[in-house]
Structure 1
Amino acid sequence: MRNKNGYKTKNPFNKFNTPFLSKFDSDLDSEEEKKWQNNTRRLLSEGVQSIHDPISWAAFHSNQEPSRDFEVTIGSLLPLFPDDSKSVAMIRHAMCVVKQAVHHLNPGQVPVLTLDQPLFAIAKQIQWNWPNDYGEDKFVMLLGGLHLEMASLATIGDLLDGSGWTHALTQANIATPGTAESFLKTAHVTRTRHAHQVTASAL
């Protein structure tokens, strides 16, 4: 092809002559695509009777997939609560919802709830104030892993307070005096854990 000045130019339609489109054309001639075309023609001529009629390509082929039986999972995902969780009413409501879900999935099982420290304290107060409905024989409350470790390290810190442990860490250049004192109160879980690991390795 030449332009008005006589120079050769590329045919802009040559880019459509690609193997991809050739393959696409051959796919349209396949048996499955003909089924979809015939189904679409029938629905357009007779009229779509329901929103479930597969007139689109994706809907038609998804209906052709064989149904499979899947094993029901033992886990469940509960919806998020829109209200503030730091209230007695919200914790009681959550306990009731969890109890119903657990009894539906596994009748007779005692529900086990894991909560952070502030919510754990509220849940324990609920168990003590309403033992008939939320007693310790009806719910098992577990402290979250992070707060459980923090409480354990803080207890160890109370035992080591005044023992010279922080002074030994300072003399060994493991931590500064202020940081070593913070290990007793577990101000930083990772650093406190590391200090106890170093101490246990040195013994």
Structure 2
Amino acid sequence: MHKILLMGPQGSGKGTQAQLLSEKLGIPTFAMGQLLRDEIASGSALGKKAAEFMNRGDLVTDEMAIQVLKKRLGRPDTAYGYILDGYPRNEGQYREFSFETPTHVLVIDIPREESLKRISGRLTCSTCGAIYAVKDGSKLGDECACGGKLTQRDDETPASVSRRLAIYENETKPIIETYERKGFVRRVDGMGSVGEIHKRIVDALS
């Protein structure tokens, strides 16, 4: 049984690494951000409230997050474990999440400047959510492979990213330190190729 929390600052590659680890271990991965965006897309009352926060680049309330998360954890495919990307993010969410005990808390570390560079320079498909990098030649309005248009999310502008990183420093890092004191944390250097980082993560689990 693997109940893995994958943590790290914005732009640390959590989503990419979570998918690779999911394929290797045969357990589902889900990011709180994507769960919330799915809830927003559903048009539910909860989704509409969440949209107000996320469009400002702010975090949703703990109550909203835990409602969405519990719904996902209740699905049958989590019976043998899961990889949870980017949760809990603050003390309130940590308390709400006390009904679960992780087997591992993996933290991908990258410098703040690298976070800003990576996130501010990425575009997202408005249809399928695929991520493209400006440094690779992608531009606003380009067409995704699925036919959707590439946009920059409101919470991925330089100003929004700076706010999100400040929240990570002030609210999420103390949670990581709490897990560290309990012996759950394994830290991984997030600089290097995708393959190199994946190997470090697999090694950290052994």
TM beyond 0.5: no
Normalized per residue, which structure has more helix?
1
Q: TM-score, normalised by structure 1?
A: 0.23
Bigger CA radius of gyration: 1
* Structure with more strand by fraction: 2
Query: Could you tell me the TM-score, scaled by structure 2's length?
Result: 0.22
